[in-house]
Chain A
Amino acid sequence: MTEAATPDVKSTRFRAVDGALIAMMILPILALIVLKVLFTPAADGVQIAGAMIYAEFEAPVMPVIITESQINTWAVMISILGLCLYLTHGLTAKAVCRRQLIAEWIVEKCQGLVNSNMGDYFSAWAPFIAAIMALSAFSSLICLFGLFSPTGDVNVTFGWALLVFFLIMYYKFRGGLWNYFIGLFKPIPVFAPMNLIGEFSTPISMAFRHYGNVLSGAVISALIGSALSGLSKSLLGWLPGFLGDIPFLRIGLPAVLSIYFDVFSGVMQAFIFAMLTMLNVSGAVPWEEWAARREKRKKLKEKLSKSAA
């Protein structure tokens, strides 16, 4: 591969593409805020609700519902795509731009994490794990803009967990269907129902863990917010004019608490979801049975080719 030509960082074209990519990062979030402001009905008191339904279409089997969580997930995906394109814009061997260092750091960290947790056989999985982690973390973090976190909707996290469940099943079947079936009856046949439940509890526990953590953070934030606005109404309601209507106590204090409930919890859950994906998938491969099966097939092939010749 020949070395790419060094891009002219100061040229107008480079800057224009940069600006477009930054707009791609920021505009979806702004659009979401506008959408939320337009669609949310004005209400007083504690507001704890699930995802808003934006549109509903008739379909043959069941109505197709466009909810807030779908729209927010797509906006977050576009935003992450913009971020990735921005970080990798102008990549060279010599690293002209500072952002290349950030991109390299992210890639190295992800590769190292996957290699140390899944082994060398799965080293091609780094992009998938990084994608899951980024989507999950950014989906949880958009509640900092006052938007609904898609991960606070059980359907979203359950979808991801189902994806992971199918991957686990695929790798478990690698050792042969019969071997998998026999494995359910180990160590003694009485354990079969429990083993079966254990298989299906993996996606449920993964989905509910992520959803429960994000949702509990959101509920506590809403409760604190409404409590503080009520307190400031009773304490500072004597102020003249519109000053009395502004909930002054609500400024600042919820932000301190959201460092734990939103930022730490959201990023932590993203990391844990990715970690559990890695451990479950890499732990699902029956290495010995798989090797034995491959050996058997090889012998069968040789036999067939000999008999054909």
Chain B
Amino acid sequence: MLELAMGIMLGLLGLGAGCAMIAGIGPGIGEGNAVAKACEAIGRQPECKSDVTSTMIMGCAIAETTGLYGLIVAILLIFVAPGSFTGILKEAIK
């Protein structure tokens, strides 16, 4: 009984971690857009290349945050959650 519950729990945690990383799609699209626009801007005005580049990298880093939230949730689900959930499960089955 406990083994079955444990197996289901660990499998679902893995699935949850995978689902959490769907959050990576958004920043990917957003950063791609940002870089595309920055390339256009540099093509139009090559003299402001350094300004555009630094602003773009800033914006990319901020856009990345949502993806990183997903990553942190996934890491918590893989490394931290099993330890704490196992105790709860044992208590519940007893």
Contacts and interface: CB of A to CB of B under 8 A. Distances in A.
B75 A209 contact: no
A266 B79 CA distance: 23
B72 interface: yes
Interface string B61-94: 1101100110110010001000000000000000
A209 B61 contact: yes
Contacts of B65: 205, 208-209
Nearest to B69: A208
A269 B68 CA distance: 13
Contact of A213 (B62, B68, B69): B68
Interface in A194-221: 205, 208-209, 211-213, 215-216, 219
A268 B72 contact: no
Given A209-B68, A212-B72, 17 more contacts: A205-B65, A208-B72, A209-B62, A209-B65, A211-B72, A212-B69, A213-B64, A213-B68, A215-B71, A215-B72, A215-B75, A216-B68, A268-B57, A268-B61, A272-B61, A272-B62, A275-B58
A144 interface: no
Contacts of A275: 58
A209 B71 CA distance: 10
A208 B68 CA distance: 7
B58 A212 contact: no
Interface string A216-236: 100100000000000000000
A137 to B, nearest CB: 14
B64 to A, nearest CB: 7
Interface of B: 57-58, 61-62, 64-65, 68-69, 71-72, 75, 79
Interface on chain B toward A: helix, strand, loop, or mixed SS?
A: helix
A263 to B, nearest CB: 15
B75 A219 contact: yes
Contacts of B68: 208-209, 212-213, 216
Interface-central residue, A209, A211, A212, A268, by most chain B CB under 10 Å: A212
A48 interface: yes
Contacts of A213: 64, 68
Nearest to A206: B65
Closest 3 pairs (CB-CB, A-B)? A212-B68, A272-B61, A209-B65
Contacts of B69: 208, 212
A187 to B, nearest CB: 23
Q: Which of B57, B58, B68, B75 has most chain A Cβ within 10 Å?
A: B68
A84 to B, nearest CB: 25
A215 B62 CA distance: 17
Contacts of A205: 65
Nearest to A213: B68
Contacts of B75: 215, 219
B61 A216 contact: no
B61 A48 contact: no
Nearest to A211: B72
Given A205-B65, A209-B65, A48 B79 contact: yes
A267 B72 CA distance: 20
A216 B71 contact: yes
Nearest to A215: B75
B47 to A, nearest CB: 18
Interface in A172-190: none
B51 to A, nearest CB: 11
Nearest to B70: A212
Contacts of A268: 57, 61
